Amino acid sequence: MISLIRCMMNEKQGFSVNGYVMALIVLPICQLLSVYWFIQQAGILPMVAMILVAVLWPGFFMVQPNQGKVLTLFGSYVGTERRDGLRWTIPLFLRRTVSLRIRNFESAKIKVNDNQGNPIEIAAIIVWSVTDTAEAVFEVDDYESFVTIQSESAIRHMASSFPYDPRDDEQAEVALRSHPSEISDSLQKEIQARLAKAGITVHEARISHLAYAQEIASAMLQRQQAAAIIAARSQIVDGAVGMVQMALNKLSAEEIVDLDDERKAHMVSNLLVVLCGDKAPQPVVNSGSLY
């Protein structure tokens, strides 16, 4: 089996000269000389020279800052001109303008399942620019449409590779919601790998919209609230136990009161109720003896 390998077309410098020199010096002088020659000696050669000089005038073109002109001759790529200002080249060269400025777009909100199977809605902002005009023009049919479609494909693939929320420890698993920097880097690399063949450089890719799909949004919100309550309660209990232990140790060290095991247990129970309760406790004054 014979495998055919198509060579990628890379950008190269095109032929052009300073347009101001050609417009003010070279072409006017050549035009005057050809006319003078025709006046002095009427014939075929002076007329041909005068016509050739006239044909050279359409070779002028303007290059704006951060813009490139792709030059082709009879379907063959001959180079790209990036130097801004008035330029002149061979009039037979066809010139196509390609913007080199940094552009950005926001993808549409797409629905995709994360790696746990939960349906989510996600959208991203992509910042990109053309860095190789030859690849952008000749390797793909429409590089702007190519950027849009491939970016959305990369977003889908990336979103299905990570969970929406970390399962256990936030530090142990990269998730879409909890690790924005890591997700942005992964998305940028994913899009760049798809757009490199079109001469496109991705400067930044960040998620602009992230939410559970409407059909599970309510259930997932309750789940998030429950997880937040559990985490808060756990932290409150840890603090309360430490405060109770500190109180007992200080009472014992300073010999303020001597409590037996039963009274210590009763005191620990009361302190935990006071410290871990949702509402402010109502104090009860004991006017009798301790026992």
Q: What is the mean pLDDT of residues 160-177?
A: 75
Please answer whether residues 9 and 135 qualify as being in contact, where contact means their C-beta atoms are separated by less than 8 angstroms.
yes
Confidence of residue 1 (pLDDT cuts 50, 70, 90): very low
**Residue 30: CA count within 13 A, CB half-sphere:** 17
The pTM of the full predicted model, rounded to 2 decimals, is: 0.69
At 14-43, the pLDDT tens digits run 999 988 888 787 777 777 777 767 667 766
Q: What is the mean pLDDT of residues 264-284?
A: 66
Please spell the DSSP secondary structure of 184-242, one letter per residue.
Answer: HHHHHHHHHHHHGGGTEEEEEEEEEEEEE-HHHHHHHHHHHHHHHHHHHHHHHHHHHHH
Burial classification of residue 7, based on how many CB atoms lie within 10 Å of its CB (0-12 exposed, 13-18 middle, 19 or more buried): exposed
State the helix-helix crossing angle for 27-40 and 44-56, rounded to 10 degrees: 160
Lowest mean pLDDT among 23-37, 108-122, 254-268: 254-268
What residue spans define the domains of the chain?
17-99, 103-212, 217-276
Average pLDDT, the chain: 80
Superfamily per CATH, domain 103-212: Band 7 domain (3.30.479.30)
Among candidate residues 189, 193, 199, 184, the one with its CA nearest the CA of residue 144:
199
Dihedrals φ, ψ of 106, to 5°? Answer: -105, 125
Q: Which of 44-48, 105-109, 125-129 holds the top average pLDDT? A: 125-129
Specify the length of the chain in residues: 291
Q: Is the pLDDT of residue 285 over 60?
A: no
